[in-house]
Chain A
Amino acid sequence: MGLETGDVVELELGGRKVEAPVWVLPGQAQGSVAVTLGYGRTRGGKIGVGVGFDAYRLRTSTAFWHAGGLKVTKTAKHRPFAVTQGHNRMEGRDLLRTQRYGDKAHEHEGPPHLSLYPPIEYPKHAWAMAIDLATCIGCNACVVACHAENNVPVVGREQVLAGREMQWLRVDAYLEGPDDNPQTSFQPVPCQQCENAPCETVCPVTATVHSDEGLNDMVYNRCVGTKYCSNNCPYKVRRYNFFGYSVDDVFGLDMKAASVRLMHNPDVTVRSYGVMEKCTYCVQRINYGRLQAKKEDRRVRDGEVQTACQTACPTRAITFGDKNDARSEVSARRGEPRNYALLAELNTNPRTTYLASLRNPNPEIAG
């Protein structure tokens, strides 16, 4: 029909009409249209009203889930989607690895990277995260948990359209294979906590520094906001307060009202205008765990410190722990042959690693 993503069409089913924008989705069966229920609310509070369109008007008790005879008419209108990922192809890059059953482990790793500097020792803890792409279902629960835990502001449609989404942790979705039947995989990307962090060297005011436990710390009140760290981050996981998101009244809410401010996690700094922010591996939880352990005069137990994303993950794709502890779960996962580092060729030496996705397709089912 010559439709492009963002074109507004009129859907007509049995005389009932709804106007909706189009999202051209690879893999959608030819000649079919999928509509999403649950939007277009007229009473949803300041945030819920007027978002999307109400598809219930097409739905009748005779055809709950699918119906034929839909008429689609293109209108002249255009409505851009506020999405956080505009490109879903990997462009031949080795980013999200997939292994098939029976495959040998990938041999992607090149020769070891050399450095002029002596290796840095982390005698205490060395926090690390392993994310199993085989079990990630792309549900975004981790993203929501991160928002709630770390006082990450919600910036709204306008800012997302401008490319300023605020997510310390995002779930990248990649499509592989032909457009009419692609394979979709997900890759949650928090800060990779690089041991050789490109962001740290370029900050002129030393606002982002390395902790002795290997965390890539962000010192909000030292940041002057050059954005250089974000430019130099190969994973683009840094997020910037282009406006005073935590205090501006974006949705007509009084962000300074006591009741609204109560939503903040008291253990996490609320960032001000003009500073960069990023995933901390939930450093407040690490600190709490370390403190508890100290009070009881013991080491932090494996699994004692859990990040917000980890606790929210329904499939336990995320593992967090101390890689100095050889018996920790994260060490075990990092030792798996599926384990790999994203963009390892840059020698960033990230603490976040991935376990390659696994596929075991039935050869008797075509595609």
Chain B
Amino acid sequence: MAEPPSTPPSTPEAPSEPGSTAPPSEPGGPGSAVPPPEASDAGSMGPPSLRAPVIEPGHTMGTVTDSIAAIVLTKKPNKIWLIGFAVSFALLMVFLWSIGNLLVRGIGLWGVNQPVGWGFDIVNFVWWIGIGHAGTLISAVLLLLRQDWRTSINRFAEAMTLFAVACAGMYPIFHLGRPWLMYWLFPYPNTMQMWPNFRSPLLFDVFAISTYFTVSALFWFVGLVPDMATLRDRATTKAARLIYGALSLGWRGSARHWHHYETAYLLLAGLSAPLVVSVHTIVSFDFAVAVVPGWHATVFPPYFVAGAIYAGFAMVITLAVPLRAVFKLHDFITQRHMDNMGKVMLATGLIVAYGYGIEIFNAWYSGSVYEWAVLMNRMTGPYAWSFWGLMICNVIAPQFLWSRRIRANMPALMTIAMFVNVGMWLERFVIVVTSLHRDYLPSSWGMYTPSIWDISTFIGTVGLFFTLLFLFIRFLPAISIFEVRTLLPQSKPEEDDDDDDEPAPAPARQGAP
């Protein structure tokens, strides 16, 4: 405990987990320096990448800090950033305009009707929530599994999670006929002496999503605190110093601070890990609990969770490829990250494909004329384009990821990720719309056509997402500075002679003006 904390992981947990403290830093050290169990740990993501670097060689503590913090503090806004932000902000205004119209004129602006009571609203809600899943998985689960390669992508994956959940959260509110009464969904003491209905999956949603957002936000913020201190110490303007100073919560990098930080971070990781599974399970209950043929399926929870991770990783790749190109972060987001993310996508993609298979099998095996009709309608009905599009995007496209060459080819990887983004959207469209539009009584069958307002609201949430993301890239370190430093060979505890006299925030101080 008294040991000067050169690296966060070498603090109190060190004795209890011998050897696992420093994320195994194969790149610098030869394999002999790494205890075998760890090698297998890291190898669980795939032996070929075992020795691939998670940080390019030639970096020191100082250069890591400099290159990441510079994006925030000193560099003038990049032209691409400016254009991107301007476009996103314009789209955000489209969102506000759409929602303003919705509130004034009514939900009839949307394309929803009888029998399709949910359309783009819930499709997009589930889509965004799904995208929000990679963040938690990368931050929490991979942290607990000691997958060190997560370190340089976890920060922006977490940010992506938060922003995606923020976008998703708009829909359950605004799809209400009377959104100003949305607080009725919360169990609060009231003069009506009314509880909400705890049997309704929509109520589960309220808890699942608000919990998810809160825990993700806390997790993200706690992880940011040491970096906020770095930025505070390097800030060149008074305003920046004040703001980053306030956000760093008085972080000085003492051993006690690191101890508390580590405890809190691990606890939050432990709290978030179940959320990876629970949130989308509960979202899937919205459908699985209903009697609607095509919704009422026990395979939904696992296959929704896999789909969410699938969608989440696709979105991380979609963002990481341009991010590393524009901000020249190849040293930190390496080929190995891309490779691993490609593999996760392939694995979850196969689970999702299995889910589709089970749906089809059950439609036949159930012997239910309604389930069978829904399947046939999906394949040959008026929305067959969405079903076959889904199959191409979500089942066929990821098969290319078996090839290592394609995983290493950024444009190809990005293209596949875009296919998956589209495919996951189509999946939700197929589930929500094609199940509802032809259910039990043919007399009530109908069609659903999204209105211009459905589309503008969706585009608007994309604007909201990217506006937040661009602001984040510009004003917060998109890559965790102090965690990447732990990846450096010189931060390994075996070499602590070199490092221990240098307290952790020291690099920050070096650069302070």
| Chain A residues close to B by CB (< 8 Å) | 85-93, 95, 159, 162-165, 170, 172-174, 187, 189, 198, 201-206, 222-228, 230-232, 234-236, 238-244, 273-276, 343, 346
Q: Give the size of the chain B interface in residues (CB under 8 angstroms).
A: 50
Q: A163-B113, A164-B114, A227-B117 are in contact. Are A242 and B447 (CB under 8 A)?
A: no
29 A–B contacts, CB within 8 A, in A order: A86-B445, A87-B442, A87-B443, A90-B442, A91-B442, A93-B369, A93-B370, A93-B440, A163-B115, A163-B446, A189-B441, A201-B200, A202-B200, A202-B201, A203-B200, A203-B202, A204-B185, A204-B206, A205-B184, A205-B196, A206-B197, A225-B107, A225-B176, A226-B176, A234-B291, A240-B114, A240-B177, A243-B108, A346-B291
With the chains together, A148 CA to B195 CA distance in Å? 34
With the chains together, A157 CA to B18 CA distance in Å? 74
For the complex, is B203 an interface residue (Cβ under 8 Å from A)?
Answer: yes
Check A274 against B178 for contact (C-beta < 8 Å): yes
With the chains together, A123 CA to B181 CA distance in Å? 36
Shortest beta-carbon distance from A353 to chain B in Å? 16
Specify the chain A residue showing the minimal Cβ separation from B110.
A242
In chain B, residues 109-166, which have Cβ atoms closer than 8 Å to a Cβ of chain A? Answer: 111-118
Specify the chain A residue showing the minimal Cβ separation from B448.
A163
Check B440 against A189 for contact (C-beta < 8 Å): no
Shortest beta-carbon distance from B286 to chain A in Å? 8
Give chain B residues whose Cβ lies under 8 Å from the Cβ of A174. Answer: 442-443
Shortest beta-carbon distance from B282 to chain A in Å? 13
Task: Name the residue among A204, A230, A238, A274 with the largest chain B CB count within 10 angstroms.
Answer: A204
Check A231 against B292 for contact (C-beta < 8 Å): yes
Give chain A residues whose Cβ lies under 8 Å from the Cβ of B90. Answer: none
Specify the chain A residue showing the minimal Cβ separation from B449.
A162
Check B202 against A228 for contact (C-beta < 8 Å): yes
Shortest beta-carbon distance from B119 to chain A in Å? 10
Task: Name the residue among A87, A89, A202, A243 with the largest chain B CB count within 10 angstroms.
Answer: A202
With the chains together, A86 CA to B369 CA distance in Å? 20
Give chain B residues whose Cβ lies under 8 Å from the Cβ of A238. Answer: 114
**Can you list, as one digit per residue, whether each of B389-419 has a CB less than 8 Å from chain A (1) or not (0)?**
0000000000000000000000000000000
With the chains together, A173 CA to B443 CA distance in Å? 8
Check A232 against B291 for contact (C-beta < 8 Å): yes
Pick the contact of B195: A173, A206, A232, A244 (CB < 8 A).
A206
Task: Name the residue among B105, B113, B289 with the largest chain A CB count within 10 angstroms.
Answer: B113
With the chains together, A15 CA to B25 CA distance in Å? 93
For the complex, is B199 an interface residue (Cβ under 8 Å from A)?
Answer: yes
Check A204 against B175 for contact (C-beta < 8 Å): no
Give chain A residues whose Cβ lies under 8 Å from the Cβ of B373. Answer: 91
Specify the chain B residue showing the minimal Cβ separation from A159.
B108
Check B108 against A204 for contact (C-beta < 8 Å): no
Check A242 against B185 for contact (C-beta < 8 Å): no
Check A224 against B178 for contact (C-beta < 8 Å): yes
Pick the contact of B113: A164, A202, A346 (CB < 8 A).
A164
Specify the chain A residue showing the minimal Cβ separation from B432.
A231
Check A242 against B176 for contact (C-beta < 8 Å): no
Check B117 against A228 for contact (C-beta < 8 Å): yes
Pick the contact of B118: A159, A231, A239, A242 (CB < 8 A).
A231
**Can you list, as one digit per residue, whether each of B272-303 has a CB less than 8 Å from chain A (1) or not (0)?**
00000000000000100111100000000000
For the complex, is B43 an interface residue (Cβ under 8 Å from A)?
Answer: no
Pick the contact of B117: A89, A170, A231, A343 (CB < 8 A).
A231
For the complex, is B439 an interface residue (Cβ under 8 Å from A)?
Answer: yes
Q: Which 3 A-B residue pairings sit nearest by Cβ, starting from the closest?
A: A225-B177, A274-B177, A163-B113
Give chain A residues whose Cβ lies under 8 Å from the Cβ of B290. Answer: 198, 202, 228, 231-232
Give chain B residues whose Cβ lies under 8 Å from the Cβ of A172. Answer: 441, 443
Check A165 against B114 for contact (C-beta < 8 Å): yes
List 16 additional contacts besides A163-B113, A222-B194; criterion CB under 8 Å: A88-B443, A89-B442, A162-B108, A163-B116, A164-B113, A198-B290, A201-B199, A201-B200, A226-B175, A227-B175, A231-B117, A231-B292, A234-B291, A240-B117, A242-B108, A275-B178
Shortest beta-carbon distance from A223 to chain B in Å? 7
Check B443 against A189 for contact (C-beta < 8 Å): yes
Give chain A residues whose Cβ lies under 8 Å from the Cβ of B436. Answer: 231
Shortest beta-carbon distance from A91 to chain B in Å? 5
Check B202 against A226 for contact (C-beta < 8 Å): yes
For the complex, is B106 an interface residue (Cβ under 8 Å from A)?
Answer: yes
Shortest beta-carbon distance from B368 to chain A in Å? 9
Shortest beta-carbon distance from A241 to chain B in Å? 7
Check A224 against B445 for contact (C-beta < 8 Å): no
Give chain B residues whose Cβ lies under 8 Å from the Cβ of A204. Answer: 185, 196-197, 200, 202-203, 206
Shortest beta-carbon distance from A366 to chain B in Å? 28
Give chain A residues whose Cβ lies under 8 Å from the Cβ of B105. Answer: 243
Pick the contact of A227: B118, B185, B442, B445 (CB < 8 A).
B118
Check A236 against B176 for contact (C-beta < 8 Å): no
With the chains together, A243 CA to B108 CA distance in Å? 6
Give chain B residues whose Cβ lies under 8 Å from the Cβ of A225. Answer: 107, 176-178
Task: Name the residue among B108, B115, B439 with the largest chain A CB count within 10 angstroms.
Answer: B108
Check A236 against B441 for contact (C-beta < 8 Å): yes
Q: A85-B443, A204-B197, A273-B106 are in contact. Are A163 and B185 (CB under 8 A)?
A: no
With the chains together, A226 CA to B184 CA distance in Å? 12
Give chain A residues whose Cβ lies under 8 Å from the Cβ of B179. Answer: 224
Specify the chain A residue showing the minimal Cβ separation from B121.
A227
For the complex, is B182 an interface residue (Cβ under 8 Å from A)?
Answer: yes
Q: A230-B114, A242-B108, A243-B108 are in contact. Are A224 and B181 (CB under 8 A)?
A: yes
With the chains together, A8 CA to B369 CA distance in Å? 37
Check A275 against B177 for contact (C-beta < 8 Å): yes
Give chain A residues whose Cβ lies under 8 Å from the Cβ of B370. Answer: 93
With the chains together, A143 CA to B178 CA distance in Å? 28
Give chain A residues whose Cβ lies under 8 Å from the Cβ of B203. Answer: 204
Give chain B residues whose Cβ lies under 8 Å from the Cβ of A346. Answer: 291, 440
Give chain A residues whose Cβ lies under 8 Å from the Cβ of B181. Answer: 224
In chain B, residues 171-211, which have Cβ atoms closer than 8 Å to a Cβ of chain A? Answer: 175-179, 181-182, 184-185, 194-197, 199-203, 206
With the chains together, A85 CA to B115 CA distance in Å? 11
Check A224 against B184 for contact (C-beta < 8 Å): yes
Check B197 against A242 for contact (C-beta < 8 Å): no
Check B184 against A87 for contact (C-beta < 8 Å): no
In chain B, residues 342-373, which have Cβ atoms closer than 8 Å to a Cβ of chain A? Answer: 369-370, 373
Specify the chain A residue showing the minimal Cβ separation from B377.
A91
Give chain B residues whose Cβ lies under 8 Å from the Cβ of A276. Answer: 177
Give chain B residues whose Cβ lies under 8 Å from the Cβ of A170. Answer: 443
Shortest beta-carbon distance from A108 to chain B in Å? 13
Give chain A residues whose Cβ lies under 8 Å from the Cβ of B292. Answer: 231-232, 234
Q: A225-B107, A225-B176 are in contact. Are A163 and B117 (CB under 8 A)?
A: no
Shortest beta-carbon distance from A303 to chain B in Å? 30
With the chains together, A274 CA to B117 CA distance in Å? 12
Specify the chain B residue showing the minimal Cβ separation from A171.
B443
Give chain A residues whose Cβ lies under 8 Å from the Cβ of B442. Answer: 87-91, 93, 95, 174
With the chains together, A202 CA to B446 CA distance in Å? 22
With the chains together, A226 CA to B439 CA distance in Å? 19
Shortest beta-carbon distance from A112 to chain B in Å? 19
**Can you list, as one digit per residue, whether each of B424-460 has a CB less than 8 Å from chain A (1) or not (0)?**
0000000000001001111111111000000000000
Pick the contact of B441: A173, A231, A234, A241 (CB < 8 A).
A234
Pick the contact of A224: B116, B182, B195 (CB < 8 A).
B182
Give chain B residues whose Cβ lies under 8 Å from the Cβ of A239. Answer: 114
Check B441 against A243 for contact (C-beta < 8 Å): no
Check A206 against B194 for contact (C-beta < 8 Å): yes
Shortest beta-carbon distance from B423 to chain A in Å? 24
Shortest beta-carbon distance from B232 to chain A in Å? 44
Shortest beta-carbon distance from B278 to chain A in Å? 18
Shortest beta-carbon distance from A174 to chain B in Å? 7
Give chain B residues whose Cβ lies under 8 Å from the Cβ of A162. Answer: 108, 111, 113
With the chains together, A225 CA to B245 CA distance in Å? 45
Shortest beta-carbon distance from A149 to chain B in Å? 21
Give chain A residues whose Cβ lies under 8 Å from the Cβ of B178. Answer: 223-225, 273-275
